[in-house]
Chain A
């Protein structure tokens, strides 16, 4: 049996992502000036314990999001794929992220909006 298994990927059409008036989160760096403003919940992740993060894509009607993360200093990634799901319009929930070591982690989001593809980067420090 072949199941289609796209863990860590989700596609959605949200009418308009609002919730961008309050950008109290960690603003992500995009690879392209045309990319919509994006930010995630600003948290201090626990070491080797699952945690969740919410991504907000401002003013975006429809997007496909994948998430991954690496530890640049040690050139390794995560041991688990991450479940991505939409919570409300324009916001995505990444569930069960595990940063299995203390130190600096780089968050990587790939976002597909219609035909355009953007990548975003952010950093989090695990104490």
Chain B
């Protein structure tokens, strides 16, 4: 391996730029498409709807609260029970387990500032609102706004919280919840994944540094070509975060084993409608209400039923199992799903993107090799 690298460098030093060019399999059009998936990391921006965003005290306190089992009514469940930091903020289970089995797979919490909607069905439009949800979910931390308020009045962190929010006993239970969500979100949003070998390839292409770009393995390059072209993956898994942050039907069944279905985005829109915690609400700290257009203008659509948010593919190798219900155990199973997708599940007049790819095993291996280069940031 070392030797090979040295050899390559020797070739490069000899000024064999044509040899280097031959090492880049991508056409100019594919290079232009590739550039759209970066740069990475994106410039971190504070969240204007969360006045604690970027505040070091809030970040530290948020981290403490994230691990606090006392935040659950039963006293034995924290955010970190399911979102385990050493497991890429997931739990390795198909579906999350709280007081009972949850409907969905536990999402990892990387790069949250890249999303417009949160959760698999976009029940919330901000990270802080999403961070409140488990506090009140009956199968998770199971509080009511009142019980949570009561708890915090006697909580060990009360003083630290009050230095950020002001006196706790004068706020309403709802506002208390919003404040807690914002403090925890201040921590969660700092979890950003790093530069991967794909990003170095992309950045090298951006400055025409073909020598560096040529270090990117050939199988990953071929996989990237499939991702951008024949596979049509980049229509949905687009941009630097490899997700358009919108909702699609990827042909994944959405029956629940216990009966009924997971309504996906349909339920997400209903949840948004009844939520007191949106970017359009008084709980947003942003006087400009930046981003509130989305909840105001989102369209109700029959196709929303059974649609789920496009997951980011950054660090995807570390977050198995996959899909909203964790029904696919590994990347091979996901690729097989796209390779043999059941067209009958999709409406004939619906979105015409997915169709069975019928790729060879070599092609699937290339795609997997490419996906691995989105996960090797350490």
A and B touch in the complex (CB under 8 A): yes
Measured CB to CB, the residues of A under 8 A from B are: 7, 47-48, 50, 73-76, 78-83, 95-96, 100-103, 127
Mostly helix, strand, loop or mixed at chain B's interface?
Answer: loop
A47 to B32, CA, bound (A): 14
| Complex: A50 Cα to B296 Cα, angstroms | 14
Tell me the complex Cα distance, A73–B352, Å: 7
Stretch in B51-59, B206-214, B236-244, B277-285 with 4+ CB within 8 Å of A: B236-244
Cβ of B45 under 8 Å from chain A = no
Given the known A-B contacts A80-B299, A81-B297, A102-B36, are A74 and B245 also in contact in the complex, defined by CB atoms under 8 Å?
no
B-to-A contact residues, CB < 8 Å: 32-33, 36, 234-236, 238-239, 244-247, 293-294, 297-299, 301, 349-353
A34 nearest CB across to chain B (Å): 32
Given contacts A47-B238, A75-B349, A101-B238, 13 further A-B contacts (CB under 8 A): A47-B36, A74-B352, A74-B353, A75-B350, A76-B351, A78-B299, A79-B247, A79-B298, A96-B293, A100-B246, A101-B235, A102-B235, A127-B33
Complex-state Cα separation, A74 to B301, whole angstroms: 16
A7, A48, A50, A74 interface centre (most CB from chain B within 10 Å):
A48
Establish whether residues B299 and A81, one from each chain, have CB atoms under 8 Å apart when the complex forms. yes
Q: Which of A50, A74, A101 contacts B293 (CB 8 A)?
A: A50
Q: Smallest distance from the beta carbon of B24 to chain A beta carbons, Å? A: 20
Number of A-B residue pairs having CB atoms within 8 Å of each other in the complex? 59
Q: Which residue of A lies closest to B354 (CB)?
A: A74
CA distance A47 to B239 in the complex (A): 7
Q: Which residues of A contact B350 (CB under 8 A)?
A: 75-76
Interface of chain A: mostly helix, strand, loop or mixed? loop
How many whole Å from A40's CB to the nearest CB in chain B?
Answer: 19
Q: Are B297 and A80 in contact (CB under 8 A)?
A: yes
A82 nearest in chain B by CB position: B297
Closest partner residue, chain A, to B247 (CB atom): A79
**Chain B residue nearest in CB terms to A96:** B293
Residue contact B239 to A48, C-beta cutoff 8 Å: yes
Instruction: Compute how far the CA of A48 lies from the CA of B246 in the bound complex, rounded to whole angstroms.
Output: 8
8 contacts between A and B (CB under 8 A): A48-B245, A73-B352, A78-B299, A79-B301, A80-B293, A96-B294, A100-B246, A101-B238
Give the complex CA separation of A79 and B245 in angstroms.
11
Query: Quick check: B298 and A75 within 8 Å, CB to CB?
Result: no
Q: Is the CB of A101 within 8 A of B297?
A: no
Interface contact A80-B294, CB-CB below 8 Å: yes
Complex Cα distance, B290 from A95, in Å, reads 13
Cα–Cα, bound, A127→B238 (Å): 10
8 closest A-B pairs by beta carbon, nearest first, are A48-B244, A96-B293, A80-B297, A81-B297, A100-B246, A76-B351, A101-B235, A100-B244
Q: Which residues of B contact A102 (CB under 8 A)?
A: 33, 36, 234-235, 238
Choose from B33, B239, B352 the contact partner of A75 (Cβ within 8 Å): B352
